[in-house]
Amino acid sequence: MRVAIAFTGPSNSGKTTAIVKIAERLKSAHKVAIVKNDPKDKAVFDTEGKDSSKFFATGANVVVRSPSRTTMFKNEPSSLDEIIAMLGNFDILLVEGLKTLPIPRIGIFRGELDPDYFGFVKAIAVDDTVDLSKYDIPQEIQILDLNNTDKIVEWIFKNAKEV
């Protein structure tokens, strides 16, 4: 069975750190895949001047294969279904961002909550810098301790969507 769970939250809220901790916890027993959304197109994955960068600059889709990895550079966006097909064999897909995807989602917050996220999340993971008493959190949203990776993983296994 392959399942997916998503994470959302403001910049610098701890999404990447949480996903890394969860992936590290899961990797001994599960094959983990991660998708990161880059809405501002800022990520750079190649070195200018190298062959692969020159190939990609032509507008072609490029695959670089080596003994230890396969890297694909596409000049067009991919749907989640296409990404899942490209990833192949995995047990758990962790998605950072893409809040409109129909996948159960954990909101990650430090310092303060942003109630605008409540409509997109099934749970929020916060640390002790968030004063929960200041917010009217809908009852259906579960509250998780951002620093308790085991509890977050437990929530994931109960709530992740089969893909």
pLDDT at 58: 85
Three-state DSSP class for 105?
A: strand
Strand partners for 144: 125
The answer to whether residues 84 and 93 touch, using CB atoms and an 8 Å cutoff, is yes
Q: Chain-wide mean pLDDT for the chain?
A: 90
Contact of 71 with 17, CB cutoff 8 Å:
no
Q: Would you state the pLDDT for residue 47?
A: 76
pLDDT at residue 43, rounded to an integer:
67
pLDDT tens, position by position, 64-117: 888 888 888 888 888 888 888 888 899 999 999 877 788 999 999 999 999 999
Determine contact, residues 106/97, Cβ cutoff 8 Å: no
Q: What letter represents residue 34's amino acid?
A: I
> Pick the residue with more confidence: 11 or 150?
150
CB 6 within 8 A of CB 105: yes
Does residue 39 have a pLDDT over 70?
no
Specify whether the CB–CB gap between 130 and 143 falls below 8 A: no
How many CA atoms lie less than 13 Å away from 52 in the CB half-sphere? 14
Contact 94, 106 (CB under 8 A): no
* Residue whose token pair is 């027993």: 29
Reduced to 3 states (helix: H, G, I; strand: E, B; else coil), residue 70 is strand
Average pLDDT over residues 18-30: 96
Percent of the chain with pLDDT over 70: 94
Work out whether the CA dihedral 36, 38, 42, 47 comes out positive or negative: positive
In order of their start, the domains of the chain are 3-41+78-162 (3.40.50.300)
Better-scored residue on pLDDT, 52 or 162: 162
Average pLDDT value for residue range 51-72: 84
User: Is the CB of residue 153 less than 8 Å from the CB of residue 7?
Assistant: no
